[in-house]
Structure 1
Amino acid sequence: KDLDLEVYRRWPGIHSDAVKDVLVLPGETRIVTCSLDTNVMELELERDFHVVHSAHKSGVHSLAYNDDFRLIFSAGFEYHVNCWVVGQAHSAPTRLEDPACPHAAPLLGVQVVPGTPQLLTVDAQGLAKVWDLRMLRAVHTFNVQRTEGTSAVSASGTQAQEVYHSFAFMPECQILCCNSNKDSYLYEYQGMEIQSEPLKVHGDLAPMVACELHEASATVVTAAGTDLALFDTRTGVMKRLMPAAIADDISCLHVNAAG
Structure 2
Amino acid sequence: MSLLAALDPVALRLGPLQIKWYGVLIATGVVLAVILSMREADRRQISPDDIVDLLLWMLPIGVIGARLYYVIFRWSYYANNFGEIFAIWHGGLAIYGGIIAGLAVLLVYCYYRMLPTWLVLDIIAPTVLLAQAIGRWGNFMNQEAFGATTTRAFLEGIHLPNFIINQMYINGLYRQPDFLYESTWSFLGVILLLSLRHRTHLFKQGEVALSYIAWYSFARFWIEGTRTDSLYLFGPIRVSQLLSAILFVVAVGLIIYRRRAKPNNPWYLDGSGLKYPYER
- Report TM bin, short chain: under 0.3
Between 1 and 2, higher relative CO (CA 8 Å, sep ≥ 6) is seen in 2
Higher strand share: 1
- Relative to the length of structure 2, the TM-score reads 0.24
- Relative to the length of structure 1, the TM-score reads 0.25
